[in-house]
């Protein structure tokens, strides 16, 4: 039974609060670049939580596996298109905790 998009956005924001990061992605032509990224490990392929997160927010790339000695492979969801980052953060904003809001606000203000 499907309740509402808000349930999906709340789930995605909860995952983002614990696992995600909004950061400077480097500069392009002397302009500020922003990136959102989240990593998860799995020995059985791309983690379902990354697939679900990408489905809910409607964008992003999942890359990997990245191998590390004696650890499970890492998979990473990322997005760096400014308009998509803004859109995703707006979707998640009502459900984000204080720390992630502060992190997002800092980077979004640098885009303005």
pLDDT at residue 109 is higher than 90 = no
pTM for the predicted model, two decimal places: 0.89
* Nearest alpha carbon to residue 13 among 84, 89, 99, 79: 89
- Per DSSP (E only), the strands in the chain are 20-28, 31-41, 61-66, 74-79
Tell me what pLDDT residue 3 has: 61
Indicate the domain borders of the chain.
33-111
pLDDT at residue 62 is higher than 50 = yes
pLDDT at residue 90 is higher than 60 = yes
In CATH terms, 33-111 corresponds, of 3.10.28.10, 1.10.357.140, 3.40.50.300, 3.20.190.10, to 3.10.28.10
Adjacent-strand bridge partners of 19: none
């Amino acid at each position: 039974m499907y309740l509402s998009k808000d349930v999906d956005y709340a789930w995605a924001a909860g995952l983002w609060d614990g696992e995600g990061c909004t950061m400077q992605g480097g500069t392009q032509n002397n302009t500020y670049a922003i990136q959102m990224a989240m990593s998860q490990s799995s020995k059985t392929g791309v983690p379902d939580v990354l697939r679900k997160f990408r489905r809910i927010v409607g964008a992003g790339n999942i890359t990997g596996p990245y191998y590390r000695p004696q650890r499970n492979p890492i998979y990473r969801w990322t997005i760096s298109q400014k308009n998509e980052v803004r859109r995703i953060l707006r979707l998640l904003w009502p459900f984000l905790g204080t720390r992630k809001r502060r992190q997002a606000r800092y980077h979004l203000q640098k885009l303005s």
